[in-house]
């Protein structure tokens, strides 16, 4: 799939009915879930970039960090708390990275807000 085709697919996911991560959150598509509560889901990335690579998503469709609105502050904090909890549960609580890409030029490929939790090896800087 070309970058243009991938971009078209990613942008079509702004509709919650078609969104890959919404489907995962609704358990319509299988995933390796490591944490779930009423607002969030955390699952292993299918293309891990570190020994531990988990995605933390809100169950409610929000296309990106830029789309968080007034009143979403508590949810944003909860996503970070879940990222920390997941890192600890997976044995990398003493050294992990949380990454969020916002927009296509930043590398966002699925347009549903998500955070990458990476750990289990020394992570370099700058990341990309």
User: By three-state DSSP, how is residue 41 classified?
Assistant: strand
Rg (CA), the chain: 14
Active-site residue (options: 53, 61, 112, 114): 114
Q: Is it true that the peptide bond before 126 is cis, omega within 30 degrees of 0?
A: yes
List Cβ neighbours of 49 (8 Å cut-off, separation of 6 or more): 116, 118
- 114 tagged catalytic: yes
**Hey, which residues are catalytic here?**
114
């Amino acid at each position: 799939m070309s970058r243009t085709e991938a971009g078209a697919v990613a942008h079509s996911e702004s509709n919650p009915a078609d969104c890959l991560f919404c489907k995962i959150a609704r358990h319509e598509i299988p995933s390796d879930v490591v944490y779930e509560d009423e607002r969030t889901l955390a699952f292993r990335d299918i293309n891990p970039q570190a020994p531990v690579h988990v995605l933390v998503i809100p169950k409610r469709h929000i296309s990106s960090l830029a789309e968080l609105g007034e009143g979403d502050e508590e949810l944003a904090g909860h996503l970070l708390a879940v990222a920390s909890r997941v890192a600890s549960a997976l044995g990398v609580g003493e050294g992990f990275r949380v990454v969020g890409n916002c927009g296509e030029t930043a590398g966002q490929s699925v347009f549903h807000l998500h955070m990458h939790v990476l750990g289990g090896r020394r992570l370099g800087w700058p990341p990309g």
